[in-house]
Chains A and B, each alone.
Chain A
Amino acid sequence: MIAEPDGPEDRLRRLTTIWSRAVFPVTSTSLTRVEFEEQLLPLARRLSELLRARSYDADAAKAVGAALVGAHCTDPEALARTLDCIDAYLVLYCGEDGPQDELRMRSSRLQHAMAAGYAQALRERTLAEQEAIAQAALQAQGVVAQALHASEARFRAVFEGAAIGIGIADLDGNVLQVNEALLRMFGLTEQALRGRRVQDWVHPEDAPQTWRLYDELVRGEREHYHVEKAFNRTDGTVLWTNLTVSLLRDADGTPQYQLALMEDTTERRLLNLRLRYEATHDALTGLPNRSLFFERLEKALNAGEGQRFGLCYLDLDGFKTVNDSLGHAAGDRLLVEVADRLQSCATAPGEMVARLGGDEFVALTTGPGTERTVDELAERIMNALVTPISIDGRDLMVRGSLGIVEGPAGERTAAEVLRSADITMYRAKSAGGNRSELADPEADARAITRHGLTTALPTALERGEFFIEYQPLVHLGDGSVRGAEALVRWLHPQHGVLGPDRFIPLAEHTGLIVPLGRWVLEESIRQARAWRERYGPQTAAGPLRINVNLSPCQLSHPGLVQDTIDILERSGVTPDALCLEVTESALIGADDDLLKPLRRLSEMGVDIALDDFGTGYSNLANLRRLPVSILKLDRSFTQGMQQFPADPVDLKIVEGIVSLAHSLDLAVTVEGVETGAQAEQLRILGCDTAQGWYYARPGPPERLHDLALVDATG
């Protein structure tokens, strides 16, 4: 609609523009002013009509006022500006040609009605919005309350249905609430449990800190604590629990309640105790086992100053025979009986008996006076074994070897103590058994060294720690060097040079003697060849010979003959350059099987010497049977000749032996010649060759060279 300039429509629009410009700044509408003006236009048109209408219509004017509120003119300033505008311009722009006084009167009345309509609409809108926001707040609170209720219901379900016991008490210890699980654990009704006080549940097995932690918690000094705790049930049984107690504070942080969570560990504890018992006790005898014994021993060894320990280590003598002959069942019954008897020997506080395994038992005594008590304990043990043990109607004599160790706490480790006891027990055993021995540090040290050497032997051979020294054998008739005895040495990295007496028995024991003996033989033969290359195959008095010792173990080794032949052949040395020395004791009671290899070697031309002759139970008649060509007289016969005049008895014996040997076509070599007088005496007695410090100590092969030279020039 295009308004005719200054026509009624144009005038109405101008009024609306003035109105909207006046009101727009105080509205909160998001419309533009132009859009806002479009909203006001129908209102202005209505006012214009009402102004000129025949009769006054208050309700229509009220509606215009209300419409202002609908256009978001909620600021009363908008009404004030509206009324100013209407008052000033409505009649002017819309009055047309009507009577001015009446129009003014009508405009005024319209304004009154608009104001009333505006106020009523604003009041209604305000109330409606207040209602709406209050509803929304309520609604939101309802959501929260419902959620809270649901969450409470969930927590209650958790509380009631939990498998662990839950209880709440106030800070004075009064129990306020408990759940089903807790009631079941205690075997009580809720009535019986409620009103109890936490402090009533003191139990003799409470850990020392339990109630201190409790006090700290209820005083608010601690947020929670965790203990293992026992409770007495009304039926007399004990409930064991894993107990966690927490302090509950209110929103301000003030302590309010204590919350206890407990888990029934009674069965687990019993199981643990049983497992622990099984892990620490011997199933057969029921005695504590090695691990429990070590635990106790360590405790005893870690005891404070002034505390001592005493240990008896028992090994039954000949138990293997019982097992082998009567069977393991009988052996087991024997062990059980021994265990029972031992158990009754160690009943005092600080004493215990344990089975380490097999037929090995230990008894421990502790305290300040073990120097005395350990002897009494040992005596009780030995006495306990005196009475025969009856198994299947047989009375079995039981004997044992006992090693005793006693000493102050804090000096040795459990392993050291037990090793000492073990060594000492073996000392008792090797002394014939059925006795006790007291530990002796020197004996221990020897045993320990022996053990160390035994384990080091194999690698020593690999590493070339062995070497050979040679001691010349001298002809007594002309003083010429006829050969040398090879003597093996061990250059031990820690112990220095060790003689054969220190390690040959160990090597025999472990079987290492076979490879070691072969090595000695190889080395010696190689040396023999070196000498032969230097001095020729033959000295004036015969071949230069090398003497090598054979241990009993080597003697019975099946490869002896072949090994010897191989070594000789490889070196290109004739058998007559070799003399094998065998001890008399090794050949005592030797049967033909044992002698066969020696015979073979002898037939090949290898000399066999009977070493240490005269120390064993020499069966002189037996000498005939042996494939022996030389007797080596033990040094004990010649010691009496070191002085002058010589012991006449020794002289007679040696003379007899020499005469016997020569009549059997055996040569005689004497050992241990230390003086010239001795050498002279032995020459007179008819001995053939000699060795000893008088001539030379054992030494490197070059020394023999020097001697040979001396011999040649002398």
Chain B
Amino acid sequence: MERPAWAPRSIDISVPSVSRIYDYYLGGSHNFEVDREAARKAMGFMPGLPKIMQANRAFMRRAVRYAADEGITQFLDIGSGIPTFGNVHEVAQAAVPGARVVYVDHDPVAVAHSQAVLAGNEDADVAAADLRRPEEILASPQLERLIDLNRPVALLLVAILHFVEDADDPYGAVAELGKALAPGSLLILTHASYEGIPLPAERAAGAVDVYKDIRNPLIMRSREEIARFFEGYDMVEPGLVPMPLWRPDTAPEDEDPYAFSGFAGVGRTA
């Protein structure tokens, strides 16, 4: 078997992984002590971190349903992490039976776990690839098999772009993926930001430093910088907003204050 180009030389589970930390925030046990230690440390600075993750999940769920309502039946979720519950394929396939979903992650453990979860699901698959090399994503056999790029696709970049440093050209990567999308496709995106966090920025920076320490730096971007990812897209109402404000099902005032950290938006390709 060929060693995939993305695969690390070895897998070191003594190093924390952002997708397993994310799972821990969401109350899962798909994680190891190193992950939990890092998560607890970050939560020491920002106790509401799990609420942010939950808001991300809730937004994603609404956005996938919105996409399904718009007639979209193909979903490409990049940075999908460890599938726990309420995953894109569950939401999408519940809304549109036979909806096709391709997950992409560069964490080999997340990929292996996804494979296990998706075993037997003909319409969903996972590709091991990195957002920083969009051409590898577009050329992956899973995408080839499940997704017809001549028809609209919902491209999900939920809680992933804030892990791509400027040096790795996240805007270029998003633009390259966007070029591959047929008209009527949707870009569904959330991004961390100091804006909206109900804490002084110095305190939030403590949590950001935890990610720096585990060599997965968290890049906080301003609303303006995040809006640039949507260049060339028509923003779907209500535009780029804090997550709970994007087409809420319930009164946003019931939401935890942490849920308003960062931004979410959906854009449509012309």
| Contact-size category for A | 20 to 34
Contacts A/B (CB < 8 Å), 11 sampled: A30-B54, A30-B85, A32-B250, A72-B85, A132-B113, A133-B29, A139-B115, A143-B112, A144-B8, A144-B108, A148-B9
Q: Which residues of A from 550 to 598 have beta carbons under 8 Å from B?
A: none
- Taking a contact as CB atoms under 8 Å apart, the answer to whether B250 and A147 are in contact is no
Count chain B residues whose beta carbon lies closer than 8 angstroms to a beta carbon of A.
41
Binds A, one of B56-64, B190-198, B216-224: B56-64
**Given known A132-B116, A136-B109, A137-B109, contact A150–B30 (CB-CB < 8 A):** no
Q: Looking across the interface, which residue of chain B has its beta carbon closest to that of A151?
A: B3
- Which A residues are CB-close (under 8 A) to B20? 133
Shortest beta-carbon distance from B190 to chain A in Å: 13
- Taking a contact as CB atoms under 8 Å apart, the answer to whether B11 and A144 are in contact is yes
Bitwise, A109-146 to B at CB < 8 A (1) or not (0) is 00000000000000001100110110111011101101
Q: Looking across the interface, which residue of chain A has its beta carbon closest to that of B82?
A: A133
- Which B residues are CB-close (under 8 A) to A75? 27
Shortest beta-carbon distance from B91 to chain A in Å: 9
Bitwise, B1-32 to A at CB < 8 A (1) or not (0) is 11110011111010000001000011111111
- Taking a contact as CB atoms under 8 Å apart, the answer to whether B254 and A147 are in contact is no
The 9 closest A-B pairs by CB, nearest first: A147-B3, A136-B113, A30-B57, A140-B108, A129-B29, A139-B112, A136-B112, A74-B27, A30-B86
- Which B residues are CB-close (under 8 A) to A34? 249-250
Bitwise, B106-128 to A at CB < 8 A (1) or not (0) is 00111111011000000000000
**Given known A133-B82, A140-B108, contact A147–B2 (CB-CB < 8 A):** yes
- Which A residues are CB-close (under 8 A) to B9? 144, 148
- Taking a contact as CB atoms under 8 Å apart, the answer to whether B31 and A133 are in contact is yes
A33 within 8 A of B: yes
- Taking a contact as CB atoms under 8 Å apart, the answer to whether A135 and B250 are in contact is no
A449 within 8 A of B: no
Secondary structure type dominating chain A contacts: helix
B4, B9, B27, B85: most-surrounded residue (chain A CB, <10 A): B27
Cα A628 to Cα B10 in complex, Å, equals 116
Cα A125 to Cα B26 in complex, Å, equals 14
- Taking a contact as CB atoms under 8 Å apart, the answer to whether B2 and A29 are in contact is no
- Taking a contact as CB atoms under 8 Å apart, the answer to whether A140 and B111 are in contact is yes
- Taking a contact as CB atoms under 8 Å apart, the answer to whether A137 and B112 are in contact is yes
Bitwise, A137-166 to B at CB < 8 A (1) or not (0) is 101110110111011000000000000000
Cα A429 to Cα B75 in complex, Å, equals 100
**Given known A140-B109, A147-B4, contact A30–B30 (CB-CB < 8 A):** no
B3, B7, B8, B256: most-surrounded residue (chain A CB, <10 A): B3
A interface residues with partner B (beta carbon < 8 Å): 25, 27-35, 72, 74-75, 125-126, 129-130, 132-133, 135-137, 139-141, 143-144, 146-148, 150-151
Q: Looking across the interface, which residue of chain A has its beta carbon closest to that of B35?
A: A133
- Taking a contact as CB atoms under 8 Å apart, the answer to whether B3 and A148 are in contact is yes
- Taking a contact as CB atoms under 8 Å apart, the answer to whether A129 and B11 are in contact is no
- Which A residues are CB-close (under 8 A) to B170? none
Q: Which residues of B from 116 to 159 have beta carbons under 8 Å from A?
A: 116
Pick the residue among B8, B50, B116, B254 that contacts A28 (CB under 8 A). Answer: B50
Cα A384 to Cα B242 in complex, Å, equals 109
- Which B residues are CB-close (under 8 A) to A74? 27-29
Shortest beta-carbon distance from A150 to chain B in Å: 6
Shortest beta-carbon distance from B266 to chain A in Å: 17
Shortest beta-carbon distance from A153 to chain B in Å: 11
- Taking a contact as CB atoms under 8 Å apart, the answer to whether B58 and A133 are in contact is no
- Which A residues are CB-close (under 8 A) to B3? 144, 146-148, 150-151
- Which A residues are CB-close (under 8 A) to B28? 74, 129
**Given known A28-B27, A130-B29, A133-B32, contact A33–B250 (CB-CB < 8 A):** yes
- Taking a contact as CB atoms under 8 Å apart, the answer to whether A132 and B1 are in contact is no
A30, A72, A147: most-surrounded residue (chain B CB, <10 A): A30
**Beyond A28-B25, A143-B1, A144-B7: 7 further Cβ-contacts under 8 Å?**
A28-B50, A28-B53, A33-B250, A133-B32, A135-B112, A136-B112, A147-B4
- Which A residues are CB-close (under 8 A) to B4? 143, 147
Q: Looking across the interface, which residue of chain A has its beta carbon closest to that of B30?
A: A133
Cα A136 to Cα B113 in complex, Å, equals 5
A29, A146, A150: most-surrounded residue (chain B CB, <10 A): A29
- Which A residues are CB-close (under 8 A) to B254? 33
**Given known A75-B27, A133-B82, contact A146–B1 (CB-CB < 8 A):** yes
Q: Looking across the interface, which residue of chain B has its beta carbon closest to that of A69?
A: B27
Cα A147 to Cα B9 in complex, Å, equals 9
Shortest beta-carbon distance from A36 to chain B in Å: 10
Shortest beta-carbon distance from B65 to chain A in Å: 11
- Taking a contact as CB atoms under 8 Å apart, the answer to whether A28 and B11 are in contact is no
- Which A residues are CB-close (under 8 A) to B112? 135-137, 139-140, 143
Q: Looking across the interface, which residue of chain A has its beta carbon closest to that of B256?
A: A25
Shortest beta-carbon distance from B221 to chain A in Å: 24
**Given known A132-B113, A136-B113, contact A32–B108 (CB-CB < 8 A):** no
Q: Looking across the interface, which residue of chain B has its beta carbon closest to that of A74?
A: B27
